[in-house]
Structure 1
C-alpha cells in the first residue's frame, strides 16, 4: 500500500510548479486527474528538450503517474463537467490568474458549496491579494524580484539565475505541503479549505538567513560566489587537475583542514580556531587555502579531508552525480515505459518508506488518454454523449 492511496486530486495546473507537486503525490499513491485543453494540452507538452519520437522530456519530468482528460473550461458544458468531477475529489489545484476560475464558475466558493470537504489550492505568481496580483510571472522573474538573483553569482560578476528553476520547484514543494496540510486539517475538522499560495511569497520565505542578517546587522548582503557570508571556510576551491572541491568547515574541523593542507602558519594562530576570527581574517585564510589546494589533485584531496572528518564535496556535473556509485546504490535513476518513446530514464521521487510501499516511477499520460473512461466511469455518460462532446470541442 502507498501512503496516499484513496486521495483524489483534480489538477488544473500547467507547466511546472503545480504539475511537480501532483506528480510527487501521484507517485505516493494519490489518484491525480490532469485536466488539459483540448488539442494542445498543457503547454509544456511542446517544450524542449524533445525525445527521439518527439515527446517533451520537460513534460515527462513533471507529469508521471497521472491520468489526462481534455476539457474546454470556456464551455458551459465543460464547466459543469469539471464541477461534477470536483464533487467526488478531495483536492482541486489550479494556477490561473486570480478570478479566472471564478469566471469559469469553478472558483472555491462555487465548488465548496457542492463539496464542503474540498481542499482547494490556488497557486499564483503573486497571490489573490496585493498590487501585483494580476501580473504574470515566470521562474526567473520571481528569482529577480525576490532578491535570489541578486544573491547569486560572484561579487565581481553580474547577477545570475540559479542553475535549476528554483522558484518553480520550491513552489511545487509548498503546493504539496499545502495539499497535505489541508487534508490533515480536514481529517480533524471535517471541513475543507482554500489555500492562497503565492510563488512570490515562497521565494521571499527562502531569504530567511539573508533576512536574519538584515534584521540583526542592517546588512543587505550581495553576491559571494560559493563563499558563506558568516562562515570561513565554506567555498569551492580549484584543484591542480582543474576540478573544483567545496569545503565547508566549522571550528571542530579547523585543525584537520590545516593538517591536511599543511597550513602550519594558520594553525599556529590560536585565534583562528574560532569562526569569528576566521571571518574577520577571511582574505588571509582563503588565500592560504587557495594556494595549498591549487597544488593538490581533487580526488585524493577530497578523500584525505573526508578521512579526517572534514565535510568536502566534489563540484559534480549532472552526468557525474547521476552516475555516482552512491546515486546508483540509492536508485536515484530509474525508467518508465512509454507507448511512443519506449523505455525512458527518469529521476525517482526521493522518499523511502518502512511500513509503506515506496513510490514507483509512473508513466506520463498521452493527451486526453483517459477522457472517455473518466466521463463514462465517473459521470455515467453514454458513448453517444461523449462523441457529441468531442465533436463540439468540449473535450
Structure 2
C-alpha cells in the first residue's frame, strides 16, 4: 500500500507549481484527475524541450527550421519534456469550462474529491461557479487549495506574475550573484518548484487535520509568501544584525571557508568546513603553518579576515586538480564536493544505486527517462514511477467509472463540445 491510496485530487491547474505538487502526491498513491481544456490542454504540452525536435527540424523545409511553431506542429503536443517532468501518474479528463455542461462535469468530479487544487487568477473560478463558496456545500470533506501569485487579499491580490517575478520580489535574486555584480536568477524555477512543495505540505497537513475533524477546509497559498518564507537565515541576519546581505557568489555570509574554488584543471570544488575542519584542510593544502595563525582558529576570526583567508586558500587550491582536491578532502574528513554538470549528476553511480533516474513508456514518445521521487519507505510501498497522460486519455473511463455516466451521456457531452 502506498501512503496516499484512496485520496482523490481534482487538478484545475496548469504549468508548473501545482502540477508538480500533484505529481508528487500521485506517485505517493493519490488518484489525480487533471482537468484540461479540450483540444489544447495544459499549455505546457506545447512547451520546449520537444522530444524528437532535431529530427522534426531536419524534416522541415530550410526556411521553417527556426520556426518553433512549425517544429511543435510537426512533433505534436504529446512530446513535451516540460509537460512530462511534472505530470506523471495523472488521469487526464477534458472539460470545457466555457460550457455549462462541461462545468457540471467538473462539479460532479469535485463532489467525489478529497482535494481540489486550482491556480486561476484570484477570483477567476467565481464566474464558473467553481470557487470555494460555490462548491463547499456540496462536499463537506473537500480540501480546496487556491494557489495564486499574491494571495486572495491584500494590495497586490489582483497582480499576475511568474516564477522569476516571485524570485525577484521575494528577495532571492537580491542574494544571488557574484560579489559586486548584479542579481542573478538560479538555474531552476525555484519559486515554482518550492511552491509545489509548500502546496504538497499544505495538502498533507489538511488531510491529517480532516482525519481528526471529518471536515475539509480552504487553503489560500500565495507564491510570493512561499518565497519570503524561504529567506530563513538571510532574514535571521537582518533581524539580528540589521544587515541587508550582499551578494557573495558561492561564499557563505557567516562561515569561512564555505565557497567554491577553481582548480588547476578548470574544475570547481565546493568546500564547507567548521572549526574542526580548518587544521585538516590547511594540512592537506600544505599550508599548515599559515593556518595555525591564531587569528584564523575560529570561524568568527576567519569571517573577520575573510579576504585574506580566501585569497590564501584560492592560491593553494589552484595547484590541485578537481579530483586531487576531492580525494584529499575525503581522506582528511573535510566536507567537500565537486561542482558537477547535469550529465555528471544524472550518470553518477550513487544516482544509479538510488534509482533516481528511471524510464516510462509513452504511446507518443516511446521510452523516456525522468527523475523519481526521492523516497524509500519501510512499512509502505515505494512511490510509483508512472507515465504522463495523453490529452483526454481518461475522460471516458473517469466519467463512466467515477461518476456513473452512461456511454450515451458521454457521447452527447462530446458532441456538444463539453468534453
Provide TM-score, normalisation by structure 2. 0.93
CA shift for structure 1 position 130: 0.9
Instruction: Answer yes or no: is 1:92 the counterpart of 2:92.
Output: no
Q: Could you give the per-residue CA deviations for residues 107-138 of structure 1, whole angstroms, max 9, x where no partner exists?
A: 11222100001011101111111111111111
Give the aligned partner of residue 188 of structure 1.
Answer: 212
Where does residue 263 of structure 1 map in the other structure? 287
| Aligned-residue offset at 1:264 | 2.9
Cα distance in 1 for partners of 2:200, 2:229 equals 16
1:274-293 residue pairs with structure 2 within 5 A? 274-293=298-317
CA contact (8 A) 2:279 2:288 kept: no
2: distance between equivalents of 1:379 and 1:325?
46
The separation in 2 between residues aligned to 1:150 and 1:252, in whole angstroms, is: 32
The equivalent residue for 1:150 is 174
In 1, the alpha carbon distance for the partners of 2:393 and 2:24 equals 20
Provide the residue aligned with 2:266 in structure 1.
Answer: 242
Structure-2 residue corresponding to 1:175: 199
Residue of 221, 229, 250 corresponding to 2:245:
221
Displacement of 1:323 in angstroms is: 0.8
Alpha carbons 1:266, 1:285 under 8 Å: kept:
no
State the partner residue of 1:35: 35
TM-score, normalised on structure 1?
Answer: 0.98
Q: After TM superposition, give the deviation of residue 383 of structure 1 in Å.
A: 2.1
- The Cα shift of 1:270 comes to 2.1
Instruction: Please give the alpha-carbon distance, in whole angstroms, between the structure 2 residues aligned to 1:327 and 1:273.
Output: 37
1:57-84 superposed Cα distances (whole Å, 9 cap, x missing partner):
0000000000000111122222221111
Match of 1:233 among 238, 257, 260: 257
Contact 2:174 2:183 in 1 (8 A): yes
Counterparts of residues 333-344 of structure 1 (less than 5 Å) = 333-344=357-368
> Does structure 1 residue 322 correspond to structure 2 residue 327?
no
Counterpart contact for 1:266–1:272, Cα < 8 Å: no
CA distance in 1, matches of 2:401, 2:231: 47
Residue 378 of structure 1, CA deviation = 2.1
Report deviation, 1:211.
0.9
Query: How far does the alpha carbon of each residue in 1:211-255 deviate from its partner, in whole angstroms, 9 at most, with x for none?
Result: 111111111012110000000000000000110000000111001
5+ residue gaps, structure 1, are none
Q: Is residue 330 of structure 2 the alignment partner of residue 306 of structure 1? A: yes
CA distance in structure 2 between the aligned counterparts of 1:129 and 1:309, rounded to whole angstroms = 51
Deviations 1:23-75 (A, max 9, x none): 00000000000000111000000000001254100000000000000111122
Hey, what does 2:50 align to over in structure 1?
A: 50
Structure 2: stretches of 5+ with no match in the other structure? 53-74
Deviation digits for residues 154-194 of structure 1 (CA, Å, limit 9, x no counterpart)? 02222110111000000000110011011000001111010
Dislocated runs of 4+, deviation >6 Å: none
Q: Distance in 2 between matches of 1:214 and 1:91?
A: 38
Question: Given that residues 279 and 292 in structure 2 are in contact (C-alpha distance below 8 angstroms), is that contact kept between their aligned partners in structure 1?
Answer: no
Count of residue pairs brought into register by the alignment = 395
Kindly provide the CA deviation profile for residues 270-302 of structure 1, in whole angstroms up to 9, marking residues without a partner as x. 231100000000011000000000000110211
Instruction: Find the aligned partners of 2:341 and 2:22 in 1 and give their Cα distance.
Output: 28
Does the residue aligned with 2:117 lie in a helix, a strand or coil?
strand
Q: What is the rounded CA distance, in whole Å, between the counterparts of 1:266 and 1:59 in structure 2?
A: 54
- For 1:358, the equivalent position in structure 2 comes to 382
Question: Could you report, residue by residue, the CA deviation over 1:310-368 in whole angstroms, capped at 9, with x for unpaired residues?
Answer: 11010000100111111111111000010111110010011110111111211100000
**Structure 2 CA distance, aligned partners of 1:273 and 1:392?**
77
Q: Which of 119, 132, 141 is equivalent to 2:143?
A: 119
Q: Is the 8 A contact 2:267 2:339 kept in 1?
A: yes
SS of 2:400's equivalent? helix
Match of 1:202 among 217, 226, 230: 226
1:47 and 1:56 in contact (8 A); partners too = yes
